[in-house]
Structures are given as structure tokens and as C-alpha cells.
Structure 1
Amino acid sequence: MTSPAQPVTALILAGSRPGKPDPVALAGNVAHKALFPIGGTPMLSRVITALQATPAIGQIVVCTNTPDSLAALLPPDVVMLPSSPEGPSASVLDALAQYGTPLLVTTADNALLQPAWIDEFLSLIHPDSDLAAAVATEETVRRDVPNTRRTYIRLADMAFSGCNMFLFRTAVSAKIATLWREVEKNRKHPLRIAWTLGPVILLRALTGRLTRKALYARINTLTGARAELVALSDGRAAVDVDKPADMILAEKLAADLPPVPFKHG
């Protein structure tokens, strides 16, 4: 996908989970974690500005269940979409229904997001893919962010950390979001997830024998959609801010990245 045929709508997930306060919001003494400043700029503003600086991006949509907390940060051309109480996957499905594809999905705590990373991601997506997920390999993350602990997903032919960036490229990709919603609903019921994904796939994953090819094939069998993992060249792309230690790390890393000017609404 070297040059999208049409502008890509960008969806920023900025919902708050019900229940206990978010640890970043609590540690940062802010009403919403997206308001916490990195490099002097609220995280949400950094994400919006990175998207605005990416030529392929058209409409930008912020999906949240607390619009009053974030409205003051939004430039006039950025719109809001209510987030679904069912979770992120349902919010993505709502956005797909309203805005269609292609839809780039990221998160408000993806505070280090760079236009170059978005451009690289879009340029590397295979033209036959329906959905692509940006990742950074373990080797790349350890090279670029050596003093941090990240969560890695280990396949037989790749260990990687997610980069909170997905492209729903075609209409059929919504079926993957529907599958994601089913997994999300059953996250506290491993046996139900195993039934959804298939015991063979789960067994391969647990024994370290699941390959990307087998994973893609299973997703295609379940949804009819073609998915792929796209490895980015900068390990810093795997750093988001979802716990207090990340707040410190992101602040340090932001100092070495191009400045992101704060755009007032």
C-alpha cells in the first residue's frame, strides 16, 4: 500500500474503562489519561498532530465516553464519536459502520507516534491484505529501548510487541473486529476463547509452534479476511503509556524524537 487511493480516516480510541481510576490518570493527577503531558504536550494532542502531519490521513475521529474531558484539546476539524460500552472492538465496529474503510486505528496513549511510523506502516502493507497490525520485533525493541520491559507475543517465527496501530483496509476486515469482540467478551473465560480460536491453534501457541502463516490461515478461515503483521523499523513505536513506569520512559524517549507542536482547538 505505497499510496492509498483515498484518504485514510483515523480513529483514536480514547475511552475510559469503568471501575477503578486509570493508573496513569491517577499518577499524573489528570481527569483523563489522554490529558497527561509528554514533552509538555497532552498525549492526545501528540497523537492528533502526528496524524495531521501524515499526508495519507484525512478525517480524524476521537472515540471516547468522556467527551467533556477532551473536547478542549480538539482542533476544529477533529470530530468525536461515542465509545461503545462493550469495549474497543465494538467501538471500532461502530466507526467502520459510520466511516467505512480504509480506517487507521490507534490509541490516545500512543504518545510517541510519529508521522514517519505511520507512513512506513502504510507503505509496507501488502495490497491483498484486508487488515494489518503494526508490530515491533523483540530484537528491534531491545535495540532501541534497552532499559524497558515490554510484553511480547511469541510465535514460532517472530517475537513481537504491538504498536497500537491497525489498518482496516477493506470492508471484510470488519469480520476480524467481530471476532475480536467475541474474544474480548470472553477474556475471563479461556475455554470459550479456545473454542472460538480453535484448540489446535491454542495448543500451537502454548507450545511455541504457532507460525505467522498458520495464524493468518486460521483468521482467514474464521472470518474470510486476510490479515498480516507489519514489522516497523523503530522499536520505540511499541511504547505506549498505560502505567506509571511508561510515563517516565515516554518522557525520556520523547526528548530524542522530533518535536510535536501543540495544536489548540
Structure 2
Amino acid sequence: MSDWTAILLAGQRPGENDFAAAYGLKAKALIPVAGEAMLSRVARTLLACPSVVRIVVLAQEPRALFTGDAAWLADDPHVSAAAGGEGISASIGAIAGSDAAPYPVLVTTADHPLLRPEMVEAVIAGSNGSDAAFALVERSVVEQVHPETKRTWIKFSDGHYTGANLFALATPASGRAVSFWSRVERDRKKALKLLTFFGPGIFLRGLTRTISLDSAVAKASAKLGLTVKAVRLPFPEAAIDVDKPADLELAEQIIATRAEGRLSQGHG
């Protein structure tokens, strides 16, 4: 399965308009990071991935985002736009598997300017044999390199993990995972809320942190009637999205350091 569709989420959640307005913009996806709108930067990364053959930009008004240095998206034959409805998961469920976004589908977000092709390819490779997969990064991987970043950690018996905003929907059966996610979307920051769906035993193990990540995912797979995988990524920057000014400052520092590294190698 080398021909993947990337659904690039570029819509606004409540409160994000204020973040964009602070930079004189109407959408968070257009906030520049190191001089380039996040939407443009992430789209270029996705098109550089060997496994990705098309991008669908999903937002409330996606065409309105094709402006400034993201204007090139309107003319790229590998990029299309889709208007989202109420709720991110419902919008994904409505388009995944359609002619515009055939399976397999990778979902990521426009506020992920540190995304690299190797991260995307690692998730795609890690999803092999599953109906759906999601990427995480373990706490020590992130904090050894970027101790200053503040993330939401989901705690299991074998470690603390944070999401990487990368999801693989490999087969039509993955729609059941999307439907489940829509029921808990409003509680996306409350991990224990997710566990109540799986019964009192799993809820208590989650509450007492006596269940491992893989065991929890196996229970979820059985309950949903599909194969789900958790893909652990070794890339600390995969865990860093841009939700606030401190994230933006950190992302720009990381990109500047990457550029310096390339220049040093070029002069070597």
C-alpha cells in the first residue's frame, strides 16, 4: 500500500482564532513558522513523502486558506480541498474512502510544522497489518531533547506517552475507530474518559495505571472489532505541535538549528 492519501486538517477549534488574530491572521494554519505558513510547510513535507500521492486539505473554508505563501496549493494537481462539517472526526469519516480520499489514508494537522517525511513513513510502515494506527512519542524521548516543551501525557504502566498528530486509516474497517473517536472528541484531553467505553475492568486499570499501552490497544481492538496499532516514534519533534506562542518560538528554534546543521554539512 504505497499510494496513500493525506488528509491535512487545517480547520479551527474554539479559541484558535485568538491565536491567529494575535499575528494578524484569520486562521492558525496560516501563522508563519520560520517565514512560511504552517499549512504550506506541512503540505510540502507530505508531498515529499514517497508513500503519499495526494493531499486533501480539510477545513471549514479550505480555499480561503490558499493565500499568501500557501497560494500554490490551489494550483498543485496533487492537492484538493474539502469543507469539513461539525466535528473533526465526523468530517474525516465523511471523506475517508471517497473518490477524493481513497484508502489508505494518513491524517495529520496543519499545526505540525516540524513534521518530516521520515516521521510520516515510519507511521505508514508501522501501520502495516492494521486497520488503523496512531503515533505516539514516549516522554523520555521528548524531554531528553526538549525538556521545556509542555505536552499532555497519557500514563500507562510501561511509560508516559503523548500523541504525534499522525493517524493511519488503512482499511474501510478503520471507520469504526473514527466513529468511536467522534463520541469522545469533546474529551480529547481526558484519557480516562476513553476507557469508560471499554468497561469497568479496563477503566480501573487505566485509573490505577496498571495497564500497558499495548494491552490497552489490544483491548480497544477487540472492543471495536478491528486491528489497531500504536506506533512509537523515536523522533522528539513529532510530539511538538504549535498551539501557543511558546510552541511557535520552540518550533522556530528547531528549524533554525536544522538549517544550521545543513549549512555545516554543506561546508564540510
Bin of the TM-score, shorter chain as denominator length: 0.7 to 0.9
Taking structure 1 as reference, are residues 39 and 169 closer, same or farther at Cα in structure 2, changes over 3 Å only?
same
Taking structure 1 as reference, are residues 48 and 21 closer, same or farther at Cα in structure 2, changes over 3 Å only?
closer
The amino acid that maps onto 1:76 is D
- Tell me the TM-score normalized by structure 2: 0.86
What's the CA shift string for 1:4-53, capped at 9, x where partnerless? x34000001111135x5534213322110000000111000010000011
Q: Are 2:213 and 1:199 aligned?
A: no
Work out the CA distance in 2 between the residues paired with 1:217 and 1:6.
Answer: 26
In structure 1, the gaps of 5 or more residues are 260-265
Does the CA contact (< 8 Å) of 1:23 and 1:243 recur in 2? Answer: no
Give the equivalent residue in structure 1 for 2:253.
Answer: 252
The amino acid that maps onto 1:105 is V
Q: Are 2:29 and 1:34 aligned?
A: yes
Taking structure 1 as reference, are residues 114 and 192 closer, same or farther at Cα in structure 2, changes over 3 Å only?
closer
Give the equivalent residue in structure 2 for 1:15.
Answer: 11
Aligned residues: 252
Work out the CA distance in 2 between the residues paired with 1:180 and 1:28.
Answer: 32
Does the CA contact (< 8 Å) of 1:23 and 1:244 recur in 2? Answer: no
Work out the CA distance in 1 between the residues paired with 2:3 and 2:106.
Answer: 10
The secondary structure found in structure 2 opposite 1:196 is helix
Alignment of 1:122-161 (within 5 A): 122-125=124-127, 127-161=128-162
What's the CA shift string for 1:172-221, capped at 9, x where partnerless? 11110011011125779999866523222222111111212331222122
What's the CA shift string for 1:83-108, capped at 9, x where partnerless? 121x1111110121422311000001
The amino acid that maps onto 2:168 is L
C-alpha RMSD of the superposition: 2.3
The amino acid that maps onto 1:150 is R
Does the CA contact (< 8 Å) of 1:140 and 1:234 recur in 2? Answer: yes
Taking structure 1 as reference, are residues 40 and 186 closer, same or farther at Cα in structure 2, changes over 3 Å only?
closer
The secondary structure found in structure 2 opposite 1:44 is helix
Fraction of identical pairs, as percent? 35
Q: Are 2:51 and 1:56 aligned?
A: yes
The amino acid that maps onto 1:54 is C
User: Which deviates the most, 178-187 or 55-64?
Assistant: 178-187
Runs of 4+ aligned residues of structure 1 deviating over 6 Å after TM superposition are: 186-192
Work out the CA distance in 2 between the residues paired with 1:145 and 1:187.
Answer: 24
Does the CA contact (< 8 Å) of 2:45 and 2:116 recur in 1? Answer: yes
Does the CA contact (< 8 Å) of 2:138 and 2:232 recur in 1? Answer: yes
Work out the CA distance in 1 between the residues paired with 2:162 and 2:192.
Answer: 24
Work out the CA distance in 2 between the residues paired with 1:56 and 1:177.
Answer: 22
Give the equivalent residue in structure 2 for 1:263.
Answer: none
Give the equivalent residue in structure 2 for 1:118.
Answer: 120
Give the equivalent residue in structure 2 for 1:262.
Answer: none
Work out the CA distance in 2 between the residues paired with 1:112 and 1:157.
Answer: 27
Taking structure 1 as reference, are residues 187 and 159 closer, same or farther at Cα in structure 2, changes over 3 Å only?
closer
The secondary structure found in structure 2 opposite 1:119 is helix
Work out the CA distance in 2 between the residues paired with 1:162 and 1:192.
Answer: 16
The secondary structure found in structure 1 opposite 2:155 is strand
Work out the CA distance in 1 between the residues paired with 2:117 and 2:191.
Answer: 37
Taking structure 1 as reference, are residues 192 and 227 closer, same or farther at Cα in structure 2, changes over 3 Å only?
closer
Q: Are 2:20 and 1:25 aligned?
A: yes
More contact order relative to length (CA 8 Å, sep ≥ 6):
1
In structure 2, the gaps of 5 or more residues are 261-268
The secondary structure found in structure 2 opposite 1:250 is helix
Does the CA contact (< 8 Å) of 2:32 and 2:38 recur in 1? Answer: yes
Taking structure 1 as reference, are residues 190 and 229 closer, same or farther at Cα in structure 2, changes over 3 Å only?
closer
Does the CA contact (< 8 Å) of 2:142 and 2:236 recur in 1? Answer: yes
Taking structure 1 as reference, are residues 69 and 257 closer, same or farther at Cα in structure 2, changes over 3 Å only?
farther
Give the equivalent residue in structure 1 for 2:171.
Answer: 170
- Tell me the TM-score normalized by structure 1: 0.87
Give the equivalent residue in structure 1 for 2:231.
Answer: 230
Does the CA contact (< 8 Å) of 1:84 and 1:91 recur in 2? Answer: yes
Work out the CA distance in 1 between the residues paired with 2:175 and 2:258.
Answer: 34
User: Which deviates the most, 167-176 or 127-136?
Assistant: 127-136
Work out the CA distance in 1 between the residues paired with 2:129 and 2:150.
Answer: 34
